């Protein structure tokens, strides 16, 4: 897991260096502010705001309702057993009132962790598959990558706002310079967004591995991913759009379901809607070759290519 943390720390350093450089140039040139401490304070304020309001935004966007034990004792038992194995405090457990079958974890840290399932996933997965998904989400909390990705995600948003402001709201006498700064900020937005997407994909691989390390079978997680893909493929485009801004929190990217279902259905040799241990084992010795289009799609996605992801699962043992 130190490999994950090292990559995350390096990405944070690069991303905050980029936004610091952009704000420094803009502040010095347009607002004549050259005091180093000003930018340090501004950066800290932005991170604190994101830290404080991030969980509330997720709760509001997803329609999260926290459960009491008597409402779903089996779900509570699963989460508490996995949390004990992971050696972390048991998170709060909630249900999101959206039909997309999925699950997600968020919070300000391990002690403030929350794990939520959607109404759709409870109807789709069996007990082993649901436990594997919950293990994936608790691994996000254990790895402390939820807070990291939350903080990182604010950087492209800031760069986009800066770009928009300077490209379309510059004063007439500074119009040319403002447009140039806006173009540079938009370039920074594109670069930082790619880096955040890369960080998001890294954490998914490690959360998959973490779920297996918590005692879940790789085939159970592979099968759950397959079911979540075809479950999402049945959801209307309008419903998928409602959760577009928060798909980085999900186990898989619902917007890619129609594309992924074609690849994954090949793995389901007996066509029973699952990927069992024998089917997963057959993938272990195969090579997954992605075309240029698939590689480009992955680079612009919050989640790894699903076929590559399940291929990696085939190399794990519980």
Residue corresponding to tokens 């240029």: 292
Number of H helices, E strands in the chain: 13, 4
Q: Is 71 a catalytic residue?
A: no
Tell me how far apart the alpha carbons of residues 316 and 243 are, in angstroms, rounded to a whole number.
31
Tell me how far apart the alpha carbons of residues 169 and 163 are, in angstroms, rounded to a whole number.
10
CB 89 within 8 A of CB 141: no
**Cα atoms in the 13 Å half-sphere on the side-chain side of 99:** 12
Tokens of 38: 């000003």
Tell me how far apart the alpha carbons of residues 35 and 308 are, in angstroms, rounded to a whole number.
48
H or E segment and range at residue 7: helix 2-30
Catalytic residue among 137, 204, 260, 279: 137
Active site residues: 137
């Amino acid at each position: 897991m130190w490999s994950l943390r090292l990559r995350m720390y390096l990405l944070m350093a690069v991303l905050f260096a980029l936004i610091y450089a952009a704000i420094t140039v803009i502040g010095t040139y347009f607002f004549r502010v050259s005091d180093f401490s000003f930018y340090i304070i501004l950066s800290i304020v932005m991170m604190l705001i994101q830290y404080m309001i991030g969980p509330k935004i997720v709760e509001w966007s997803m329609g999260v309702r926290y459960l009491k034990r008597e409402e779903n004792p089996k779900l509570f038992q699963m989460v508490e057993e996995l949390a004990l194995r992971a050696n972390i405090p048991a998170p709060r457990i909630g249900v999101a009132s959206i039909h997309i079958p999925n699950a997600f974890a968020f919070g300000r840290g391990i002690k403030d962790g929350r794990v939520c399932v959607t109404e759709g996933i409870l109807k789709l997965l069996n007990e082993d598959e649901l436990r594997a998904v919950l293990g994936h989400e608790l691994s996000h909390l254990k790895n402390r990558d939820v807070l990291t990705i939350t903080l990182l995600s604010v950087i492209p948003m800031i760069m986009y706002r800066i770009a928009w402001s300077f490209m379309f709201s510059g004063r007439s006498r500074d119009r040319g310079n403002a447009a140039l700064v806006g173009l540079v900020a938009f370039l920074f937005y594109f670069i930082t967004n790619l880096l955040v997407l890369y960080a998001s994909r890294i954490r998914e691989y490690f959360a998959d591995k973490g779920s297996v390390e918590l005692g879940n079978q790789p085939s159970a997680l592979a099968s759950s991913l397959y079911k979540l893909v075809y479950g999402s493929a049945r959801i209307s485009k309008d419903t998928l759009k409602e959760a577009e801004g928060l798909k980085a929190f999900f186990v898989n990217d619902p917007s890619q379901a129609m594309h992924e279902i074609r690849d994954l259905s090949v793995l389901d040799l007996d066509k029973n809607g699952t990927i069992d241990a024998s089917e997963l084992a057959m993938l272990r010795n195969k090579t997954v070759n992605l075309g240029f289009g698939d590689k480009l799609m992955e680079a612009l996605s919050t989640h790894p290519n699903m076929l590559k992801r399940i291929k990696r699962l085939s190399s794990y043992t519980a």
